[in-house]
Amino acid sequence: MALVRLVGLVFLISPLVSLACSSFYWKGSEGSYLGKSYDWHHDQALLLVNKRNVKKTGFTVRPWEAGPQWVSKYGSLTFNQYGREFPNGGMNEEGLTIEVLWLNASEYEGFDFRPVLNQLTWVQYQLDNFGLVSEVIEALPRFRVSPIQGKIHYFICDRTSNCAVVEWLHGKPVVHSGTDMDPKAITNSSYEASKTEFERTQRLRNMLYLNASVDESSLSRFVRLATLLKMEIPSLESSFSILDSVSMANLTTWNIVYNLETREVFYRTKRNPEIRSLNLNSFDFDCSSPTLMLDIQSGRESVDQQFVPFSYQRNYEIVMDGLSDIQFSWVLAPLLNRYPQTTYCVNQKTSG
């Protein structure tokens, strides 16, 4: 119990470093694309194949809180910088796609007795359980987000082209979706503030935001995204081009483009700029099959067959790298690394 309290304290006192990311969605004749520029000072991560029919209990660090229990309904492919079951984003079998972006304005709900999810297990819970944005929104009141470290909001889209931004402002969840969400883009300001800025620049007919010399601020990047989404023709190539337009010289570590219709994922990293691809249709999501992983920096071209069996040792190294800025990471990292062992395949009753 003392160890758990110490971990909770570590998260509370650790310094926060602003995360700057950009994301958007558009649909064309070749598919529907969700693009994400991940801008951060750590570039290690694993691509993980998450299985269906796995029983889980939400991870918590505070002894007075309890996570929900569930059995995963869908398999998914996720990008994980803080270990297995703690994704930064990903796509499931139904095409539901979620990405995490920083939001300094976040203010989460106060204490109550609902089950809790931290910011990253929240992502895995949605991918495990839902295929539509509307289902995610309907389920929001069931759980409380119990923040560990950082302030974020979520960009979520599905194969029907419905998207949503989910954020917590002034202690309450705020959702923008459906016809309320135009343009379908988000950076690191609230959606309302971002859309207001875009509408202001449109009124002024200020096209300077298209110049390469514009700044890297959140609102400037949002206006560039929103403007280009109205000017360009949706395709895989133009999606990566738009990500180039919001690239941050010293922070952009990887780009991802998901095709929600074909369930394909394309990505590149700063250290390995070749675009690699994978198709969710290539993977066995039955929990009786081995859990697979791939280092985000490795691989070439189509990487479907380049995944290897999951390694707790490599997972631990990734977690330690992601937590290297946090004091007492030696306490926290083993807890995150061991968490998958609390999950098990309901077909076999064996732990993860």
> Measured at the alpha carbon of residue 76, what is the angle toward residues 238 and 272, in degrees to the nearest 5?
45
**Mean pLDDT, residues 179-189 taken together:** 95
pLDDT of residue 205: 62
Q: In 3-state terms, what secondary structure has residue 288?
A: coil
* pLDDT score recorded for residue 206: 55
Confidence of residue 274 (pLDDT cuts 50, 70, 90): very high
User: Where do the DSSP E strands lie in 51-142?
Assistant: 54-57, 69-71, 76-80, 89-92, 97-102, 116-117
Judge whether 165 and 173 are in contact, CB under 8 Å.
Answer: no
Structural domains in the chain plus CATH codes: 2-187+251-351 (3.60.60.10)
What are the tens digits of pLDDT across the range 219-251?
Answer: 999 999 999 999 999 999 999 999 999 999 889
pTM: 0.93
Q: How far is residue 325's CA from residue 122's CA, in Å, rounded to a whole number?
A: 23
Binning pLDDT at 50, 70 and 90, where does residue 330 land? confident
Is 211 a residue whose pLDDT tops 80? no
pLDDT above 60: residue 184: yes
The pair of three-digit structure tokens given for residue 274, joined into one six-digit string: 């070749």
What gap in Å lies between CA 39 and CA 78, rounded to an integer? 17
Top mean pLDDT of 10-24, 82-96, 337-351 is at: 82-96
The answer to whether residues 87 and 80 touch, using CB atoms and an 8 Å cutoff, is yes
Which residues on adjacent β-strands are paired with residue 186? Answer: 23
Q: Where are the alpha helices (DSSP H) in the chain?
A: 2-13, 119-129, 133-139, 191-204, 218-231, 236-245, 312-322, 329-338
The rounded distance, in Å, linking the Cα atoms of 162 and 175 is: 13
Across 27-34, average pLDDT: 97
Give the pLDDT confidence score for residue 149 in this predicted structure.
79
Q: Exposed/middle/buried for 41, CB within 10 Å: 0-12, 13-18, 19+?
A: exposed
* DSSP code for 111: P
The DSSP letter of residue 140 is: G
Rounded CA separation 266/279 (Å)? 9
What are the tokens at 58? 């939400």
Answer for the pair 125, 70: CB distance below 8 angstroms, yes or no.
yes
Q: How far apart are CA 204 and CA 120, in angstroms?
A: 39
Q: How far apart are CA 291 and CA 352, in angstroms?
A: 8
